[in-house]
Structure 1
């Protein structure tokens, strides 16, 4: 039997664009509150609110929108106009309906691997939003399973790769986040393939485990099949 039987794929900024919409919304947020704080300060305050609220709201656009509202109230000392709060809510709704733009080499890579390996999409974030993006991407039929989780930890990968495969030791996780996609998959005993994206949320940054025997890094998904073949 093949040594590798299951391949997991992150979704946001691995299969399709995502972070760019957050950056655009941050700029719009800074414009809305330009009379109250400098853009750099606003972004710092917003990041602090996001970090604090992760445990309560989780990952995704809805939590981001609530953190923007909280930050707006704080920096204006409770004087944020209703029109500003309404505009923030509108930006959140716009994010939840943005078009899905798949990244280069995604479809052909999935098609090349499907059938020979069990493909599992493993993503965190808002359930409805991730389901919407998967449907709009047209990639759903290429996956054997889809897992939308609240966070990604070693036991998350152990559970998922045992449920949909032959355990983490015979699985590979592919994604753009070292912190969420690669490091916990390695800790679970699997392979971790890092596919850097030009935009990565600061809370997803981590050091590359360059000396780990199961760590791989590729420039884009078009290079994945070669790595998979080398592992097998």
Structure 2
């Protein structure tokens, strides 16, 4: 039961602070740049295909997204994309990397309420420099006992992290907005998985909720997490 809980892992992007919103805004800007070469929906579809192809090469994050936009621009223009358009795509990527961090509701108070009783670990994937920047700007860094920035989130990833920073996955909980990355693999590793949905979710992060698992829970917002843990005790 949760009375044995010793470690709580938290996702970062769209769990503790806004992230996908800025990708969507940049994607809209990108489709407008290429509006002479196709419909917005088709350009977005081809961008998503490029992102999917490139994940194993560039990994997750803004830099890979920017490179995928450039690749898509070359494809949809059949190699005739103007240099000024490439320049604007690069500028959009730089703007994303400099965008101020907006923490989500209840992030500070929830981390503060739990940090005295549990080991708190940030587990996030993406570009190392960008994730470090966002954590520093968020003002949440002092709540964490450990920071893990990983290339991907798999059951083995969670088993390793919760063994390193806690008492194993069976005494750990992972909290995040992505069923595919934060919840399902954590449960498969043996921990609790708590889904905190965000209004915007990247298409490549969609998965079916593991409703048959006794260690799966869903809450509407982070402010409900301390109460959920108390109920499980």
TM-score of the superposed pair, with normalisation by structure 1: 0.99
Structure 1 counterpart of 2:205:
204
Residue 103 in 1 paired to residue 114 in 2?
A: no
Structure 2 counterpart of 1:157:
158
Q: What is the SS of the residue equivalent to 1:172?
A: strand
Structure 2 counterpart of 1:35:
36
Structure 2 counterpart of 1:68:
69
* Structure 1 residue ranges, 4+ long, deviating more than 3 angstroms after superposition: none
User: Following TM superposition, by how much is the alpha carbon of 1:227 offset from its aligned partner in structure 2, in angstroms?
Assistant: 1.3
Count of residue pairs the alignment pairs up? 232
Structure 2 counterpart of 1:166:
167
8 Å contact 2:3–2:232 — kept in the other structure? no
Structure 1 counterpart of 2:231:
230
User: Following TM superposition, by how much is the alpha carbon of 1:230 offset from its aligned partner in structure 2, in angstroms?
Assistant: 2.3
Structure 2 counterpart of 1:148:
149
Q: What is the SS of the residue equivalent to 1:55?
A: helix
Superposition pairs for residues 1-232 of structure 1, below 5 Å? Answer: 2-232=3-233
Q: State how far apart, in whole Å, the 1-side matches of 2:129 and 2:94 are.
A: 13
User: Following TM superposition, by how much is the alpha carbon of 1:71 offset from its aligned partner in structure 2, in angstroms?
Assistant: 0.2
User: Following TM superposition, by how much is the alpha carbon of 1:211 offset from its aligned partner in structure 2, in angstroms?
Assistant: 1.9
Q: Deviations over 1:201-225 (max 9, x none)?
A: 0100000111210000000000000
Q: Deviations over 1:86-114 (max 9, x none)?
A: 00000000000101000001100000001
Q: Deviations over 1:33-72 (max 9, x none)?
A: 0111110000000000000000000000000000000000
Q: State how far apart, in whole Å, the 2-side matches of 1:24 and 1:170 are.
A: 39
8 Å contact 1:7–1:119 — kept in the other structure? yes
Q: State how far apart, in whole Å, the 1-side matches of 2:84 and 2:229 are.
A: 52
User: Following TM superposition, by how much is the alpha carbon of 1:228 offset from its aligned partner in structure 2, in angstroms?
Assistant: 1.3
Q: What is the SS of the residue equivalent to 1:35?
A: helix
Q: State how far apart, in whole Å, the 2-side matches of 1:44 and 1:3 are.
A: 45
User: Following TM superposition, by how much is the alpha carbon of 1:2 offset from its aligned partner in structure 2, in angstroms?
Assistant: 4.2
8 Å contact 1:4–1:231 — kept in the other structure? no
Mark the runs of 5 or more structure 1 residues left unpaired by the alignment: none
Tell me how large the CA RMSD over aligned residues is. 0.9
Mark the runs of 5 or more structure 2 residues left unpaired by the alignment: none
